[in-house]
């Protein structure tokens, strides 16, 4: 209580991670969200401003691909060619129907990864980066831990369900904040449409994140869905020099948009943040 009092007096809004949602709102009245786990973060300071079950273990689904993209971009040489292998294509939809022997640059593959959320692209990038999916997954878990995301464990680069592939709202916030410090990743996740060029012709890709068109200042980030994970969304918005990042985990499809909008609004509405 003494610590909480001192923090309040200092104008801090970061609240105890284990508090219920109604008690973790730092501004005018309680806020409720449908998501089982959610956080609002100040992207610049890294301070968590609002939390609901931030340390609960959830499946990240395709939000996993933010970490995949981060590792690829950090490795550099994005214009190097990558040849698709047969093993890369043996994965469930969604996919870009890659065929063995096709050649793409890492740069192009990153657009397919983050806009189309293509699982065959994720497999291709993981194998190219680490030699195998298993080795890439080890790199993912290690990199997440370096960022402070120590309650997460990854088994694949795409987010298809595996019982040992999990994260928390808090950890995913840390991962995505770090990823958004990469200029090329920021460029991709704010892109609404992209022309994917393949031997079969041009395929227009459209970003699955509806907030890019609907929420003023939205600059990303990534949707996700599997049946065990339910709907997942990490979103970020920038206005007048203030940037916030929101994670919502395990909710329904209307909920990811409604919850994310509520939390972004909460950030921009308060002078405390």
The 10s digit of each residue's pLDDT in 103-140 is 999 999 999 999 999 999 999 999 999 999 999 999 99
In angstroms, rounded to a whole number, what is the distance separating the alpha carbons of residues 192 and 177?
Answer: 20
User: Number of structural domains, the chain?
Assistant: 1
Q: Residue range 28-51: average pLDDT? A: 90
pTM: 0.88
In angstroms, rounded to a whole number, what is the distance separating the alpha carbons of residues 203 and 264?
Answer: 32
State the residue range of the domain holding 221: 2-269
Residue 75 falls in the annotated catalytic set: no
Residue 62 falls in the annotated catalytic set: yes
Residue 65 falls in the annotated catalytic set: yes
CATH code, 148 = 3.40.710.10
Nearest to 211 by CA among 236, 194, 182: 236
Among candidate residues 62, 235, 236, 260, the one labeled active-site is: 62
pLDDT at 253: 81
Among candidate residues 43, 117, 235, 260, the one labeled active-site is: 117
Among candidate residues 52, 65, 116, 262, the one labeled active-site is: 65
Least confident range from 16-25, 50-59, 230-239: namely 16-25
Beta bridge partners of 58: 167
End-to-end CA distance of the chain: 22
pLDDT at 62: 98
């Amino acid at each position: 209580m003494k610590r909480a009092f001192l923090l309040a007096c200092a104008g801090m809004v970061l609240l105890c991670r284990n508090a219920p949602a109604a008690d973790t709102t730092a501004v005018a009245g309680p806020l409720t969200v449908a998501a089982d786990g959610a956080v609002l973060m100040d992207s610049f300071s890294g301070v968590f401003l609002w939390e609901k079950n931030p340390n609960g273990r959830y499946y990240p689904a395709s939000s996993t691909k933010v970490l995949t993209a981060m590792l690829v971009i950090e490795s550099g040489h994005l214009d190097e060619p990558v040849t698709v292998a047969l093993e890369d294509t043996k994965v469930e939809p969604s996919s870009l129907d890659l065929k063995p022997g096709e050649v793409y640059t890492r740069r192009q593959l990153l657009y397919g990864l983050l806009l189309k959320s293509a699982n065959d692209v994720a497999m291709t990038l993981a194998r190219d980066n680490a030699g195998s999916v298993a080795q890439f997954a080890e790199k993912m878990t290690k990199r997440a831990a370096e960022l402070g995301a120590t309650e997460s464990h990854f088994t694949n680069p795409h987010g298809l369900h595996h019982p040992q592939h999990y994260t928390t709202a808090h950890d995913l916030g840390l991962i995505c904040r770090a990823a958004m410090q990469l200029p090329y990743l920021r460029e991709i996740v704010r892109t609404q449409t992209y022309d994917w060029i393949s031997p079969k012709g041009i395929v227009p890709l459209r970003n699955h994140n509806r907030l890019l068109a609907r929420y003023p200042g939205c600059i990303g980030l990534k949707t996700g869905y599997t049946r065990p994970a339910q709907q997942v969304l990490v979103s970020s918005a920038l206005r007048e020099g203030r940037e916030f990042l929101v994670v919502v985990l395990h909710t329904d499809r209307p909920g990811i948009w409604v919850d994310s909008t509520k939390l972004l609004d909460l950030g921009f509405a308060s002078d405390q943040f």
